[in-house]
Amino acid sequence: METNATAIFERLRNGEILSSHDPQAYKLREASYATKELLVQMNNSTDPAEIRSLLSKITDSEIDESVAVFTPFYINYGKHTQIGKNVFINFDCTFLDLGGITIEDNVLIAPKVSLLSEGHPIAPENRQSLVPGRIHIKKNAWIGANATILPGVTIGENAVVAAGAVVSKDVPDNTIVGGVPAKFIKSI
């Protein structure tokens, strides 16, 4: 097993379940606190360019000038999030990205959306472990207000997730889903 500082983050990004007894687990909280420092600055800014600049630092990637983020915005790590061009992220969204989040071009994300790329096992004896699952939102998708996307889900191209939906399974291209749990409503 690798022992370098990034090993734990790479293992999560690769989908490895992380035991609560992992000797590198403390690095997760350290990274989250460093991200929070930048988030405080970002969430107190009213300048779109400064918000994008701080989000670029958080994600360790270039955020295109066509991206708009209305703060407040919350993210626990940041470096496992990729954001395409012409993406709109509305107020009060939460991204847990240790498992990885990819948002392609022209995606609309409404207020209070949660993208949760990490969870915990059902078995009580393993509950403190972390189970990552990459979230992928494809081009031109629209995620409605207060929707929750769970680990391992892909939202298809042009798909719509209705407000308040909890999505636990992949959503095909050109479809609308809604409900708890989210179910197929119709094709577009």
| Tens digits of residue pLDDT in 64-79 | 999 999 999 999 999 9
Q: How confident is the model at residue 13 (pLDDT cuts 50, 70, 90)?
A: confident
**Cα separations in angstroms, 144 against 87, 155, 163, 166:** 14, 12, 4, 11
Cα separation, 67 vs 98, in Å, equals: 22
Residues 30-83 have pLDDT tens digits of 999 999 999 999 999 999 999 999 999 999 999 999 999 999 999 999 999 999
**Alpha-carbon distances of 70 from 32, 128, 137, 150, 159, rounded to whole Å:** 21, 33, 19, 22, 22
Handedness of CA 49, 54, 55, 61 (dihedral sign): positive
The 10s digit of each residue's pLDDT in 104-159 is 999 999 999 999 999 999 999 999 999 999 999 999 999 999 999 999 999 999 99
pLDDT, residue 6, reads 57
| Strand 131-132, strand 118-119: pairing | antiparallel
| Rg, C-alpha atoms of the chain | 16
Helices (H), the chain: 7-13, 26-43, 48-59
Render the burial of 96-116: b for 16+ CB within 10 Å, e for the rest.
bbbbbbbbbebbbbbebbbbb
Give backbone dihedrals phi and psi of 116, rounded to 5 degrees, phi first: -115, 95
CB atoms within 10 A of CB 38: 17
Q: Which domains does the chain have, with CATH numbers?
A: 7-187 (2.160.10.10)
80 flagged as catalytic:
no
Q: What's this model's pTM, rounded to 2 decimal places?
A: 0.94
| Residue of 21, 80, 120, 136 with catalytic role | 120
Q: Give the C-alpha separation, 122 to 125, whole Å.
A: 9
